[in-house]
Structure 1
């Protein structure tokens, strides 16, 4: 910046009438570094050469393209406040002089530091990456537990900083680009970052002709942006939903065979829940265009003539018939996927006119094209040549054969090599020798013959020309991984050109190995050494043409990372349950896209792990019985192999079931891996999860549970939702409104992908069943109707109910007819809550035994209270819960379910002994 000051004759300091010689002055000012608006001032002191302060003088502070004039005080000092936004500035301080003192100036640096810092964020839709910002006070100290504000996408959010001054804002926006602004409550400073949310599902608009080969495609990715192969994608077009399986690259296709019109298609990434929409335009018909070219062929060539048919969108049209007329001959063929029609002809010498035609049909219009073909004769010959390594100025040989495949003598043959064209004449054996007088290097030489009356013929060879015979062995491998078949490589050169077909000795650990170089001059040997460092020596003995050489290197053999294979699912499966047998491959992290071999009985599966490091083996087609399971990972260059074995039982009976009731609000709190490792096989998830999160989110969470071998049952309340609703009325009629509503809900839940069961709670009257003449009958009717409806939607969906644990009172007070209900239900869960009944563990066993002994077909799983009582929600210890669970099994129960997640300690169900 240039400071321009206009001075009047009246100077600005005292002593206006002085005519003495002007004295020099000093401006004393220092660089400053400050936090935004913390009150720091830029100060300057004006003194004469004897350090005497000069008061009442004007100093001009010039910063950020602005000038500020301040008058020095009695101490010769002046200052300005710095209220600039963070950044680095140059400040110029000017004294303009007067009739006693000369002008002077001083430059200082001003660094204004921000009180908020954060980074731009790029993340995939709804993954775990979030935005963090650090907030500071005016002194640079962090703001601890301070309420701060963020603004993104027009919405303001309030958050609190932690002890390090960091506040987090979760970014759950749709894919797109955003600006996020953070505000410091202390000084009003605002700070912005760019937020980019990447899509986990991508598609494009589609414009097509009715029933052409163009279809709608999307690509799906996981939360990390990895393409998800072999996963389901849901499409909605024209009001109809479709599910399609993506290929190995995460690309899923929906064929569009809709009538002409304009449509909106929506695709759903079922893992992330992200939707993408595109427009599809279907054109009823289209004109067409045929294009081709003129051709020139030699006689006896494979004369391929092509024409391409395109529509008005310039797409190639497949599957259409194209006719070609040449003279009196007509040929027909069908266009390929790119709209190309190929005619393979063998024409005699001559000139031909070509006419291509496509006849109109109901979708595509007629079109035609014309071109010409010229064919020429000539006697064929053959050139035989090979790649070679030769010394400069030595000869290179080729052979020439005539039409009868005889040696062709006394013919001039040419070779183009580098910038030269060499010639040679064939001898009686058809051999032509070229003296190669080019400099060293590797050449793609072209040998050709164009004798009169003969067809022009050429061939190519790679010729390596060397200028000396000095050799060199170059080690190429310095690190390998232990036990994975890594190879050590070295390359043999002569005059910087690789030397093939020569023997090299490799000395490893005192043992000599002889290997022959390949066409690329390489030798290699497989390394089977333990981890450590080794000295490697290389020797080439040379021969009559090439000089000997040797070399050495150090080879490091690294240990591979240890891996483990863990069975995520249980050992007993209910036939046709839809649950897969799952294994997780893990090292220092889960390992996706690694092939796992699993043998179950006599069947072997080779399957790659998904993005969670898990393989899923479908076992629905196995017959009942016990199977040996063997599984292995062969390892790779980084990760060591691992293997294991297990037992697997398939039964037509419902397998032993262990699990927890889970409120909807805890759906995302479950540590599925930990639960599965402790033998948890079932989750009873409250149905309000569908209201709170939506079907796609619940279905996604269910799939995650299924991946760990955990079945999910939807826990629905029948007759109580904050108030009681009778399943029948006091006049003995059934409450069909309630019954039909709950049956339809059960059918809906059974239709959701991955749901393994529907569970009825509050299937009773609130202790007043004796006032309702048809109480038990109405409950029996509801259960039979609901079970039939659920099974019609999903025959493998299990239906269960929670029952009161009062054999002598449950019919009278609750309307629960145990003998009838157990004819219809797959299993029942008597709520044997010992704390609520002031009972002990022995009561759990005896009550369970009654329910088992009196069931008319349904299995009995004991529902246990995980806390002291409804009046004291202190969690029972793991040992006490384990004892209660074992008592249930000792009483004959086939399962144990804890009420509930959030007020329970977690037991290891694997430690229980089945009765």
Structure 2
């Protein structure tokens, strides 16, 4: 039995020694191994067992790379551009993007912005290729510019499934557009008939022979400078409205010494080829139809030419447009009129007459749109409005008559056909008649106006307020320093309510003092005996007037030290 026990003890000793040997082998690099307790050893033994049971086939490359951090790389941008060059010539702006380890960058983009003062004149974004992005820009004005370049932050996953981020970077550089004396300017000679709409055309090209848009061109005629700008085709136009004769023109590109000389020959008209066309006009009173005159030469419009039109004893000076047409709005009363149009230019005079027939309105198409009005006494925001229409269109400038309480007033309709009348009568119900008598039509309509009592306004003197927020709602509290008088100001439409009785009670409806408002609508209450903190002021206003309501306010005011 003793031998058996010795065998058991020996076996346990061997097992224990093996376990300790295993733990020591696995954690031999751990300096704290000697101090771990038995529970730590048991946990580590379990971990060791799991690792030992895991074959290499269960460990994948993907699991390893997932533990790698994102590679963040800082970048630097640099703007490569000339310091200055001639305006209207295109320039190349190269933005270089680099890293500290000179990586090749073919991802992301660069945005450049060009400022003239605080105004952005150019903005564009381009992809980065081989560490750069190239922009082409043409300065259209002489002056200083600021070029700002931004390499925009970009993140991506490379072929090894590594997460890489290129941090954005920014740079800027100054550039100056100087006068460009290498520009090409061409202006052809012109021969034309007087005011036939012909233009002098200036063509601007840069040193590469490309057409320049938005170039400022100055054309001098008879000592007067006219500034024009080239369009997208590099052409600037000036319409010639000169009298017959020969003229020398000097054209220049603004800010340069580039000039061009040319001539304009303006020929006089042959009277037989001029046509002044007028027609009879039939219209209803104040409709939109206009009297029209057309002037042509050899069938082509004569532009910017004055035509004189006489109706009754009045003469009107009209000017033809680019289609050779001059027009006149007719607001004459119904009847028939003889109209004479006259061209008197360059020793040539042509007159032609026609008729304008203005008809009366058809009553069934006239409408006065009125509605019952309910308002408070002397409310300036509630006028009585009437809208006048004919054939569904509003009519401006017509007189409308209002009769209320035995008195008649007149108002003109505005551009929207509305005539407004401020009803300032006292409280009560009133019948109102609106009437129009225009273009042979007399029309009246009736309605009512109800005037209700108005409320006076109360404001404070010597009181300050605080605003606080609770559950997204705003609240206002009033505060008054102890010893200072509480000033109460009563007004209506910004006018003082003087000579009115007011009662003021504090924390009571039954105990109060009686005050009378002064010429400024003010009363004062001295608060020397009031307790600190919240006090409810019961304020009663007695209107003593049928047009105003008696009012009572219960207002908490906090008395402060």
Q: Same fold (TM over 0.5)?
A: no
TM-score w.r.t. the length of structure 1 is 0.21
Larger radius of gyration: 2
Compare relative contact order (CA 8 Å, sep 6+) and give the higher one, 1 or 2: 2
TM-score w.r.t. the length of structure 2 is 0.31
